Amino acid sequence: MSAEDLPQKEVNVLKGHEGGVLAARFNADGNYCLSCGKDRTIRLWNPHRGIHIKTYKSHGREVRDVHVTSDNSKLCSCGGDRQIFYWDVATGRVIRKFRGHDGEVNGVKFNEYSSVIVSAGYDQSLRAWDCRSHSTEPIQIIDTFADSVMSVCLTKTEIIGGSVDGTVRTFDIRIGREISDSLGQPVNCISMSNDGNCVLAGCLDSTVRLLDRSTGELLQEYRGHTNKSYKLDCCLTNTDAHVAGGSEDGFVYFWDLVDASVVSKFRAHSSVVTSVSYHPKENCMLTSSVDGTIRVWKT
């Protein structure tokens, strides 16, 4: 994929959030997207047609992260109210609320079977919540982090968390090991490569780092953007050929995965780009910003 194929053409602007949008995420098949923001709502969109479908209101404070199951039936969200909400997509009702984090919750993810929600909290812990039973107690609390956990990723067998203490910790359930990769810089956001072999870690020193998961090796560092105080997302493109990331100056950057050169950068928003999300199959990208818009980009 060459640089021309990168999504740089604005297709749709999704407006509706009042206040900043903190995260925008494609669903599993990329047909819909979810966004959440400071207006305490979660919104469901069709980004390809630019239609707002539904609004989910229940959070008491800003919503920081949202994730949808692979069958599109359930949502989970978290935010400043220290709770994790488990939603039914169709009815828009909250099925369950999980309380237990002692601080704001920065990230949530479903596991593969949508049976567990893993949340990353400011209280330096990862917590796993059971969606199957009616228990609202966490199944497991992982509190080996030394600082706020900013982001969480799940594979079939592992829980990966990135923390401000500078570590990316992989908890392998199969063998019962914790592997801690210390980067030395606060980790803002982690995201998995599509082949599952690498982890992209956005650090607060305006650097995105690519780690090899099996060895813990630092494969590449991507610089050029500014990321010093906001929680910004970064992700790999669907082909794993480029790294996409937002910047605090409203730009979106594309780096070449291998040689870390800035392939492309363009001004996407007037303010901080909080989140970037790449379509799982097509060349399509979502960006969200503090300016309250979500933009859909295609080639």
Partner 1 sequence: MDSDLEDFVFYGTPIEREEDSTSRKKKAIAESAGQLRTLPAWKQEVRDDEGRRRFHGAFTGGFSAGYYNTVGSKEGWAPQTFKSSRKSRAEFKEQSILNFLDEDEKADLEGQFLGTSSQFDTFGFTAAEIARNQAEKEQKQRPSVIPGPAPDELVIPATESIGVKLLLKMGWSRGRSIKDSHADSLYDARRQARRAFLAFSSNDTKVKVSESEPTQDDNENFPEQPVDDNVQSSKSTPVYVLNPKQDLYGLGFDPYKHAPEFREKKRSRLSSKTGSGHSKNFSTRDSLFGFKSGKAAPGFGIGALEELDAEDEDVYATGYEFEETYVQEEVEEPAKLTLENQKKKDQKDKDNLPGFRVASNSDYKMERFEAPRIPKDFVPRHAFSGPLEINRQNYEVPPSDVPPPEDSNLKLLIEGVANLVAKCGKLYEDLSREKNRSNPLFNFLSGGTGHDYYARKLWEAQQKSNDQTRVQLDGKMPPCVQKLTAESRGQILGEKPLQKTSEPSSSVSSTDIQLQYNLIDTFTKSASFSDLSEFEKPFKADPAKQERFEQFIKEKYKGGLRSGSSSLAGNMSEDARAQERLSFEAAAEAIEKRKQGRGSKLSIPSSTDFITGGVMEFTTGAVEPTKDQPDVDFKGKKMYPKREEFQWRPSPLLCKRFDLIDPYMGKPAPAPRIRSKIDSLIFTSDSVKGTKVEEHMIAMKDISPLQQSANKDINKSMAENETEEEVKVEVENVERPVDLYKAIFSDDSDDEGEDPYIKKVENQEKKAEVANTALSRLIAGDFLESLGKELGVEVPPDTPYPTQKSGKDATNANEYAKPDTSNGENNSVVSLKHDLSHDQHIAHEGGHSKGDISYGNKLEIHSIKTKGTSISDNKSSKSNGEKSEDDRKVKSPLVSNQGYISSSEDERSRKRTSKYNREKYEYRKTKTPSTDRLDYRSSSLSEDERSRKRSRHHRHRRRDTGSDSSSDDERDRHNSRSKGRRREKSSREKSSGSKKHSKHHKHRKHESPSRSSHYSMEKDDAHSRKEKRRRE
Helix (H) or strand (E) holding 211: strand 207-212
Nearest distance from C-beta of residue 102 to partner 1, angstroms = 6
Q: How many whole angstroms separate alpha carbon 25 and alpha carbon 62? A: 16
Phi, psi (deg, nearest 5) at residue 136: -105, 5
CA distance 17 to 35: 9
- Choose between 58 and 155: whose C-beta lies nearer to partner 1: 155
CB 128 within 8 A of CB 167: no
SS3 5: helix
Q: Which is nearer to partner 1, 163 or 277 (CB)?
A: 163
Nearer to partner 1, 32 or 230 (CB): 230
The single residue among 2, 134, 174, 195 that binds partner 1, judged by CB under 8 A, is: 174
Q: Site for partner 1 (CB under 8 A): which residue of 22, 75, 128, 160?
A: 128
> Per rule CB under 8 A, is residue 177 in the interface with partner 1?
yes
Smallest distance from the beta carbon of 244 to partner 1, in angstroms? 22
Q: Which stretch binds partner 1 (CB under 8 A): 45-53, 76-84, 146-154, 280-288?
A: 146-154
Residue with smaller CB distance to partner 1, 46 or 206? 206
| Residue 94, both tokens | 């909250």
* Interface residue with partner 1, options 72, 136, 180, 271 (CB under 8 A): 180
* 130 binds partner 1 per the rule CB under 8 A: yes
**Among 9, 90, 184, 270, interactor with partner 1 by CB under 8 A:** 184
142 binds partner 1 (CB under 8 A): yes
Query: Which amino acid is it at 116?
Result: V
Q: Name the residue type at position 159.
A: I
Which residue in 290, 253, 283, 243 sits closest to 26, CA to CA?
283
Structure token digits, residue 155 = 């594979």
Contact with partner 1 (CB under 8 A) among 112, 258, 270, 281: 112
Kindly tell me which residue out of 8, 83, 111, 288 binds partner 1, with binding defined by CB under 8 A.
Answer: 111
Kindly identify the residues of this chain, within the stretch 195-254, that bind partner 1 according to CB under 8 A.
Answer: 209, 211, 215-218
User: Is 126 a binder of partner 1 (CB under 8 A)?
Assistant: no
Neighbour count for residue 8 (Cβ, 10 Å): 18
Residue 121 touches partner 1, criterion: CB under 8 A: no
CB of 175 to partner 1, least distance (A): 5
114 contacts 95 by C-beta, under 8 angstroms: no
How many helical (H) and strand (E) elements, i.e. helices and strands, does the chain have? 0, 28
Between the CA atoms of 192, 193, 195 and 197, what dihedral angle is there, to the nearest 10 degrees? -70
Per DSSP, which regions of 173-272 are E strands? 177-182, 187-192, 198-203, 207-212, 218-223, 234-236, 242-246, 251-256, 262-267
Residues near partner 1 (CB under 8 A), total? 48
Site residues (vs partner 1, CB under 8 A): 102-103, 111-113, 115-116, 124-125, 128, 130, 132, 139-144, 146-148, 156-157, 164-166, 171-186, 209, 211, 215-218
